[in-house]
Amino acid sequence: MSEKQVVGILGGGQLGRMMVEAAHRLNIKCIILDAANSPAKQIDGGREHIDASFTDPDAIVELSKKCTLLTTEIEHINTDALAAVTKSVAVEPSPATLRCIQDKYLQKQHLQVFKIALPEFCDAPDQESVEKAGQEFGYPFVLKSKTLAYDGRGNYVVHQPSEIPTAIKALGDRPLYVEKFVPFSMEIAVMVVRSLDGKVYAYPTTETIQKDNVCHLVYAPARLPFSIQQRAQTLAMDAVRTFEGAGIYGVEMFVLQDGETILLNEIAPRPHNSGHYTIEACPTSQFEAHLRAICGLPFSEINTQLSTSTTHALMVNILGTDDPDYVSKIAKRSLSIPGATLHLYGKAESRKGRKMGHVTIISDSPQECERRYQMLLDVKDPVESPVVGIIMGSDSDLSKMKDAAVILDEFKVPYELTIVSAHRTPDRMVTYARTAASRGLRVIIAGAGGAAHLPGMVAAMTPLPVIGVPVKGSTLDGVDSLHSIVQMPRGVPVATVAINNSQNAGILACRILATFQPSLLAAMESFMDNMKEIVLEKADKLEKVGWKNYSA
Amino acid sequence: MSEKQVVGILGGGQLGRMMVEAAHRLNIKCIILDAANSPAKQIDGGREHIDASFTDPDAIVELSKKCTLLTTEIEHINTDALAAVTKSVAVEPSPATLRCIQDKYLQKQHLQVFKIALPEFCDAPDQESVEKAGQEFGYPFVLKSKTLAYDGRGNYVVHQPSEIPTAIKALGDRPLYVEKFVPFSMEIAVMVVRSLDGKVYAYPTTETIQKDNVCHLVYAPARLPFSIQQRAQTLAMDAVRTFEGAGIYGVEMFVLQDGETILLNEIAPRPHNSGHYTIEACPTSQFEAHLRAICGLPFSEINTQLSTSTTHALMVNILGTDDPDYVSKIAKRSLSIPGATLHLYGKAESRKGRKMGHVTIISDSPQECERRYQMLLDVKDPVESPVVGIIMGSDSDLSKMKDAAVILDEFKVPYELTIVSAHRTPDRMVTYARTAASRGLRVIIAGAGGAAHLPGMVAAMTPLPVIGVPVKGSTLDGVDSLHSIVQMPRGVPVATVAINNSQNAGILACRILATFQPSLLAAMESFMDNMKEIVLEKADKLEKVGWKNYSA
């Protein structure tokens, strides 16, 4: 397909390894510049790889002679050497972009010109300017190294003026700048693909959880309202638009404590730990996206969306610990977790904190991802999250409502059952309805009698389908409940079943869940077959014994 | 994880290549025996691969000295040479199993002993015995080569006695046997994993479509009733249980024209073309399954089920044609198809009929897979399949029912709309309801008035959720329709909405579909927000202008 492209990759770590894996499926030839037996080289049979540092100018020249296109899996490279070879070979992203991004201060200055939302920052060439920044931004603030900073290295949170000399010393003899401390409520990241002709495409917004300043867990999508997720994608795309050069970019951002304001933290001009989940969860992985972008192969929105119904993913890094068996233990355990895929990176020795591999867990709900993650942590008997909520206005409805629970048990659908009264616990009802979807419920069954407001009020406060069961009261034969439940105004439907027939509500909930679950659909088919058999047996008996003897 | 295992693979074609790809993620070292630069070797940086034929006894001995475990990606190997090294190295599956399976006549004799359902067959050492078989089985029958037969090579369908000498000559100087001709309605296949301790696990039943005797398309699952799919899985597992040795087995079967009888055709003791879809569609691919099985790593049912809601897959082989650009053309086009993943095998030259790669398309419905396949074939404007069916008893209901269609248009949900009368077109109603699920519908909206039987009757004949809209007639204010629709007996629910309120039926259908589609759920949330805004605007206006001026 891209027979003519030979891609030289600067760096052969795990990011290069996964990039090479994607290249194989596209028949794109890669030549890797890094130490012998680095993870990427292990999985490529080419004989032209170069054993040298990816910062070595001579090696970069040698690589450029063998390739049609150079790219990188790490931003801490020799951009001068890279710029020098652009006359003979394409480089993506461009050396200018790499140079700007690898100096965090330059990066922020650049983004500020384009009005990208950032924490406040200023240059800090000496102790005096750091002190001045402290006065201006207040304490704490963050003293940062402009270059060679990653995984939290190169940052120092300064709480008071007396700490400044210590902080400067700790960061070594490197150029520094100061950033205002951002009290964030969540760290998020978006992978953005930029094509050769400058079009940008965003992957979903993810939530990243750091441990000891290293990426530990990634939730895709982030546990944020959809509108905030979309704003983060827009900010990330706007930021990437300002840079030259094709490829994938990881854009890290903060969500502030108001839950709404989003500031850009920093950009990585390469595949990113927060995008590993895309291998399993998206039609096209971040690694294939990068190759497609730099080689000018087709790319569109369809490639970046979460796959239909692989709607949630959770990625866990496997970091080396003091226990030499830890990596193989967690790796082996992952093989027994539903929806989990193991990626080991082929690194020879496991050092503490070293990224040895990762596990991606996919599912159709965040709760199920979390449950499977608990299994990976070896938590015994993690709870299965309910997908159906059965609620009723009063415990006196239970005798009528329990048949719904019996059916859900029969179909092995996890549910919760409780009392929520529209008229006696209105606040509880509001909370229940408003949180139902985010708690992982997919269907609500609500039973009520008389002036039966519960089903309709709940339907007004959730986008989930609500099934209403009219419970027969002591007067009016349940017609009052039926009309209260079924006659909802335009815009807010309640799926109403027959009076007192909560069994049908349970069956309807199963039919709804079965729309995307073929095994449940098959179970519903055999349930219906079974009903048929029971009636046919009765017919058979009636015909055999005659109507006179049948009742006896 | 399996640091101590070094797996030697006999054969380095595309099956070996995809096996090696899986091995990388598990940190399992592989050494490949095949010609230099074979597809598997291209993607492995190891330096110990052996450049020789996988049938060369000396090379097998050399390989055995470097490994702890030997396996194969092809059954046409030198089993004597393999048996000879079992004293020093494990071989999975066992040489005895490989020997039995590579001779199709021996394979069938073996399976017959274990009472596995097979087409009738008999030995055919000479022309006389072939003629006798023709008399016994009738014409046509199939003359088959016992060994070295694959992709239809080694089979000859004999239609009349005079063809026998030609058939024998065509099959060359090889041992032959005769099989009764099986008039099948579908060819299917099941991948079965067998662990070291003899446990077996089945992947879904797939449908295989051959073109010129070579696998062309694979549908997962097969387009068969679920119960037949399950019987095929059972037969496949029963067959694999009879063999010794761990690993993955491809079991090919026929479904006869009665749509029910399943006969085993043949077994491959290795990954199989019909199992490529498992890379994208299942938690664990057939290649990783094979490695886990032979290395004794954990494996269970969870690994073989289709991933939640990646409920359907379609695999298309990319075969070389006379057009030298064909492969790169189809490969490039696949990059723009939603849910499609491209796998190229790194084969240097494209010969006619050579397997150059494959594309797997995944989706949550067979119709959507098919639509995407049409896109791959460059069919212009493939039709989007409806997921909601709107039906009504009479065209006089249309003015009441059209609001459901308006809402579905608003939410961009594809639907179909037609007239189905329970009382005037009962047969049409039966057909509509019975085929709804298999045609890809997920929800049915049915409107009817008076003795409104349509929603309930349709619900009785489909496992899908049915939404009933009571249409108000000229008498009784629609209460007749409401009670006819809502008061369904236990076992068959209809989700009833308010009288004449088909808009709510449309919204309820969207809520049902949104249970597994987060983007639709988000759209429902903003629809509800919008309703709120409209009411608040009205409230604002009412407060401003006062009630006396409001109506004017």
- As a whole number, the mean pLDDT across chain B is 92
Closest-CA residue of chain B to A519: B226
CA atoms of B493 and A448, how far apart (whole Å): 18
Least confident range of A264-273, B305-314, B378-387, B448-457: B305-314
* Percentage of chain A exceeding pLDDT 90: 78
How close, in Å, is residue A305 to chain B by CA atoms? 10
CA distance A345 to A415: 40
Under the banding of pLDDT at 50, 70 and 90, the label for residue A52 is very high
CA distance B442 to chain A (A): 5
Residue B62 C-alpha, separation from nearest chain A C-alpha, in angstroms: 20
pLDDT of residue A149: 67
Asked if residue A310 has pLDDT above 70, the reply is no
Taking residues B156-176, report their average pLDDT. Answer: 90
Classify residue B302 by its DSSP letter: G
Average confidence (pLDDT) over B405-412: 97
Mean pLDDT (whole number) for A10-31: 96
Task: Give the number of residues written for chain A.
Answer: 552
Query: Given a cut of 90, is residue A324 above it in pLDDT?
Result: no
DSSP reduced 3-state for A36? coil
Q: Which residue of A has its CA nearest to B518?
A: A311
Binary contact (A495, B497; C-beta < 8 A) = yes
Is pLDDT of A2 > 70?
no
Residues A454-480, mean pLDDT to the nearest whole number: 95
Location of each CATH 3.40.50.1970 domain in chain A: 388-516
> pLDDT-derived band of residue B306, with 50, 70 and 90 as boundaries?
low
pLDDT digits (tens, 9 = 90+) for A383-420: 788 999 999 999 999 999 999 999 999 999 999 999 99
pLDDT given at position B104: 93
What local confidence, expressed as pLDDT, does residue B292 receive? 96
Read off the pLDDT of residues B189-202 as tens digits, 9 standing for 90 and up: 999 999 999 999 99
- Residues A1, B328: C-beta atoms closer than 8 Å: yes
Contact between B516 and A515 under an 8 Å Cβ cutoff? The reply is yes
ipTM of predicted assembly, 2 dp: 0.85
Rounded mean pLDDT of A418-430? 95
Q: What local confidence, expressed as pLDDT, does residue B551 receive?
A: 79
Banded pLDDT at B77 (limits 50, 70, 90) = confident
Query: Is the model's pLDDT at A368 over the cut of 90?
Result: no
State whether residue B443 sits within 8 Å of chain A by CB.
yes
- pLDDT exceeds cutoff 80 at A148: no
Q: Residue A226 burial (CB < 10 Å; 0-12/13-18/19+)?
A: middle
| A312 labeled part of a ligand binding site | no
Q: What is the pTM of this model?
A: 0.87
Instruction: Looking at the structure, give the CATH architecture of the domain made up of residues A6-91.
Output: 3-Layer(aba) Sandwich (3.40)
DSSP state of A508: H
pLDDT tops 70 at residue B309: no
User: What pLDDT band is residue B312 in, cutting at 50, 70 and 90?
Assistant: confident
Residue B299 assigned to a binding site: no
Residue B143 to residue B274: CA distance in whole angstroms? 25
- Whole-angstrom CA distances from A81 to A49, A78, A177, A271, A455 are 18, 6, 26, 22, 68
Would you say residue A216 has pLDDT above 80? yes
As assigned by CATH, the class of the B388-516 domain is alpha beta
What is the C-alpha to C-alpha distance for residues B286 and B18, in angstroms, rounded to an integer?
9
Residues facing A439 on adjacent strands: none
Task: Label residue B525 by pLDDT band (50, 70, 90).
Answer: very high
**Which residues of B fall within a CB distance of 8 Å from A283?**
338-341
Is the pLDDT at A173 greater than 80? The verdict is: no
Q: Which chain B residue has the Cα nearest residue A226? A: B522
Q: Where in chain B is the domain with CATH 3.40.50.20?
A: 6-91
Q: In this predicted model, which residue has the larger pLDDT, A53 or B380?
A: A53
Strands in A495-496's sheet, in edge-to-edge order, are A415-419, A388-392, A443-449, A466-471, A495-496, B495-496, B466-471, B443-449, B388-392, B415-419
**Stronger pLDDT, B300 or A398, i.e. the higher one:** A398
pLDDT, residue B308, reads 52
With a cut of 70, say whether residue A152 has pLDDT above it.
no
User: Which one of A516, A530, A538 would you mutate to disrupt binding with B, by most B Cβ within 10 Å of its Cβ?
Assistant: A516
Token duo for residue B47 = 């330096």
CB distance B238 to B164 below 8 Å: no
**Averaged confidence pLDDT in chain A:** 92
User: What distance in Å separates residue A171's CA from the closest CA in chain B?
Assistant: 37
- For residue B461, what pLDDT is reported? 96
User: Which residues in chain B (46-85) have CB-CB distances under 8 A to chain A?
Assistant: 46, 49
pLDDT of residue B173: 75
Task: Collect all residues with Cβ–Cβ distance below 8 Å to A420 and sequence separation of at least 6.
Answer: A391, A392, A393, A428, A429, A432, A446, A454, A458
Positive or negative torsion for Cα A303, A309, A310, A314? positive
Burial class (CB in 10 A: 0-12, 13-18, 19+), A418: exposed
pLDDT higher than 90, residue A499 = yes
> What is the pLDDT at residue A364?
78
pLDDT bin (cut points 50, 70, 90) of residue B21 is very high
**Whether the Cβ atoms of residue A253 and residue A262 lie closer than 8 Å to each other:** yes
Of A531, A473, A465, nearest to A499 by C-alpha is A473
Indicate the residue of B302, B310, B465 with minimum beta-carbon distance to A508.
B465
Amino acid of residue B12: G
Give the pLDDT confidence score for residue B155 in this predicted structure: 87
Q: Give residue-wise pLDDT tens across range B479-506.
A: 999 999 999 999 999 999 999 999 999 9
pLDDT, residue A283, reads 85
Is 70 exceeded by the pLDDT of residue A299?
A: yes
Mutation for B interface: A34, A308, A365, most B CBs within 10 A? A308
Confidence band for A238, pLDDT divided at 50, 70 and 90: very high
Which of A25, A41, A517 is facing B342, going by the closest CB pair? Answer: A25
Contact A492 B505 (CB under 8 A): no
In this prediction, what percent of chain A has a pLDDT beyond 70? Answer: 97
Banded model confidence at residue A3, pLDDT cuts 50, 70, 90: low
Task: State the CATH class of domain B120-181.
Answer: alpha beta
Query: Which residues 7-46 of chain A have a CB within 8 Å of chain B?
Result: 17, 21, 24-27, 37, 41-46
The token pair that represents B283 in the structure block: 């938690």
Scored b (16 or more CB within 10 A) or e, B440-464 reads: bbbbbbbbbbbebbbbbbbbbbbbb
Confidence of residue A493 (pLDDT cuts 50, 70, 90): very high
Is a pLDDT exceeding 90 seen at residue A207?
A: yes
Helix (H) or strand (E) holding B408: helix B398-410
Say whether A186 counts as a known binding-site residue.
Answer: yes
- Provide the 3-class DSSP secondary structure of residue A526: helix
Span B200-209, mean pLDDT? Answer: 95
Residue in B closest to A531 by C-alpha: B491
- Given pLDDT bands bounded at 50, 70 and 90, which one contains residue B174? confident
Q: Are A309 and B516 in contact (CB under 8 A)?
A: yes
